[in-house]
C-alpha cells in the first residue's frame, strides 16, 4: 500500500505527478489555505504531511494530529512554523528543503538591495500612474550599490550566495553569525562576533538568519542607531528579525534611507506603515518563487519522504 500524504497547498505539476506515482496524495487543487481544524481533519489516516510555511504546526496542532502521522516533510527551508519539540515528543520526523532555494533567494535579495537603493517602487509608480512629467539632475537620485559594504546576518547557505552575487558589485562583505566560518566559506568576508560589532560597517544590511527566539526583533531601535546614517536594510529571511516600529521610525527620519522587504511580521497583514512610506521596496514573500526552485523544493521534500518510507534517514531531517 502506498502511504497517504496530505499536501496542504497546490504544488508544481511535476511534483504532484511524482506524488501520484509514488503515494496516495490528498492534494489541494484549489490551493485553499486550510485552518488548523481542516488540516487536522485532512490528516486523518495519513502517514505524512507536506506543508508550507503558511501552515502553523504549533504544539497545540501537533498534539491534535492523528497517530497515523509519522513525518512532516516541509516544502520550505524555514521550519519556524513547526514546533520541533512537540513533533519530537510525538515521535514525528520533520524535514526541510535546504540548498535548492539559495540561488533564488539570493537573487531576490539582490533585487531588494537594488530596488531599495534605486527607488524602484517610487519610479515604477510614477511611470504607471502617468505622473512622470520631467527629468532633472536631481530627479529620483538614489544610493549607489557598487563598492559599498554589505553586512550579512547569517552567512549560511543563502547568505553565502548573496555574498557571492554582491561581490559582482564589488561590495565588501561583512558578516555576523553564531560562529566564525572557515576561510573557504568566508571567501574574504569579515567576521563580527556580535551584531553590535557588525552594524557600524553596514552601508547595506541583509538578513539571512534563522527565525528563533534569539533573533526575534534583532534589528531594534538601539541597533539601528549603530548603522551608518543612510544605510539600507533588506530582509528575505523572516519578518520576526525586525522590530517594525523601530524600522519604520528610522525610515521616516532618514536614519535608514530605504528598506527592501520580502518577509514581514504577520504576513500578509503587514504593518501598514511600510505601505505608506515612499522609501520601501516591498515584495510578497517570493524569495524562492522561480519555476526551477519550486520544482526543486518539491523534489527535495519528496526525496525526504522516499528515504523515510524506505527506512532510511531523510537527508534533511531537522527533528
Q: Active-site positions?
A: 238, 267, 285
Q: How many residues of this chain bind ligand 8YV (CB under 6 A)?
A: 9
Binding mask 73-112 for ligand 8YV (x = CB under 6 A): --xxxx----------------------x-----------
Q: Does 207 bind ligand 8YV (CB under 6 A)?
A: no
Taking CB under 6 A as the criterion, the residue among 11, 48, 52, 86 binding ligand 8YV is 52
State how far the Cα of 69 lies from the Cα of 185, in Å rounded to an integer.
38
Q: Which is nearer to ligand 8YV, 61 or 227 (CB)?
A: 61
Q: Does 264 bind ligand 8YV (CB under 6 A)?
A: no
Binding mask 155-194 for ligand 8YV (x = CB under 6 A): ----------------------------------------
Q: Does 219 bind ligand 8YV (CB under 6 A)?
A: no
Q: Does 298 bind ligand 8YV (CB under 6 A)?
A: no
Q: Does 248 bind ligand 8YV (CB under 6 A)?
A: no
Q: Of the listed pieces 26-34, 72-80, 191-199, 218-226, which binds ligand 8YV according to CB under 6 A?
A: 72-80
Answer for the pair 11, 32: CB distance below 8 angstroms, yes or no. no
Q: Which is nearer to ligand 8YV, 148 or 300 (CB)?
A: 300
State how far the Cα of 51 lies from the Cα of 28, in Å rounded to an integer.
11
CB 172 → ligand 8YV: shortest distance, Å?
27
Q: Of the listed pieces 69-77, 122-130, 188-196, 205-213, which binds ligand 8YV according to CB under 6 A?
A: 69-77
**Grid coordinates of 1:** 500500500
State how far the Cα of 59 lies from the Cα of 64, in Å rounded to an integer.
9
Binding mask 268-287 for ligand 8YV (x = CB under 6 A): -------------------x
CB 103 → ligand 8YV: shortest distance, Å?
12
Q: Which is nearer to ligand 8YV, 53 or 160 (CB)?
A: 53
* Omega prior to 268 cis, within 30 of 0: yes
State how far the Cα of 278 lies from the Cα of 172, in Å rounded to an integer.
28
Contact residues: ligand 8YV, CB under 6 A: 52-53, 75-78, 101, 287-288
Amino acid at each position: 500500500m502506498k502511504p497517504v500524504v496530505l499536501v496542504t497547498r497546490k504544488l508544481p505539476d511535476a511534483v504532484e505527478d511524482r506524488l501520484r506515482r509514488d503515494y496516495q496524495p490528498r492534494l489541494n487543487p484549489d490551493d485553499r489555505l486550510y485552518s488548523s481544524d481542516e488540516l487536522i481533519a485532512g490528516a486523518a489516516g495519513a502517514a505524512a504531511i507536506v506543508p508550507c510555511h503558511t501552515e502553523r504546526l504549533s504544539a497545540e496542532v501537533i498534539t491534535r494530529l492523528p497517530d497515523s502521522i509519522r513525518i512532516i516533510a516541509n516544502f520550505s527551508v524555514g521550519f519556524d512554523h513547526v514546533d520541533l519539540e512537540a513533533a519530537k515528543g510525538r515521535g514525528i520526523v520533520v524535514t526541510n528543503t535546504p540548498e535548492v532555494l539559495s540561488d533564488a533567494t539570493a537573487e531576490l535579495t539582490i533585487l531588494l538591495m537594488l530596488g531599495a537603493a534605486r527607488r524602484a517602487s517610487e519610479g515604477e509608480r510614477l511611470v504607471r500612474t502617468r505622473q512622470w512629467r520631467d527629468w532633472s539632475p536631481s530627479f529620483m537620485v538614489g544610493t549607489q550599490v557598487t563598492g559599498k559594504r554589505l553586512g550579512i546576518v547569517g552567512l549560511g547557505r543563502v547568505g553565502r550566495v548573496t555574498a557571492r552575487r554582491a561581490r559582482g558589485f564589488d561590495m565588501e562583505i561583512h558578516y555576523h553569525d553564531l560562529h566564525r566560518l572557515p576561510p573557504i566559506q568566508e571567501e574574504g568576508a569579515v567576521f563580527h562576533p556580535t551584531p553590535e560589532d557588525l552594524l557600524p560597517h553596514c552601508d547595506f544590511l541583509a538578513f539571512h538568519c534563522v527565525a528563533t527566539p534569539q533573533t526575534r526583533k534583532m534589528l531594534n531601535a538601539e541597533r539601528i542607531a549603530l548603522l551608518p546614517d543612510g544605510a539600507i536594510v533588506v530582509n528575505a529571511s523572516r519578518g520576526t528579525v525586525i522590530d517594525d516600529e523601530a524600522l519604520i521610525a528610522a525610515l521616516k527620519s532618514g536614519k535608514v534611507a530605504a528598506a527592501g522587504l520580502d518577509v514581514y511580521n504577520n504576513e500578509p497583514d503587514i504593518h501598514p506603515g511600510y505601505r505608506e512610506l515612499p522609501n520601501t521596496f516591498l515584495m510578497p514573500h517570493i524569495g524562492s518563487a522561480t519555476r526551477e526552485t519550486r520544482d526543486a523544493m518539491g523534489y527535495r521534500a519528496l526525496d525526504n519522504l522516499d528515504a523515510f518510507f524506505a527506512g532510511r534517514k531523510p537527508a534533511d531531517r531537522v527533528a
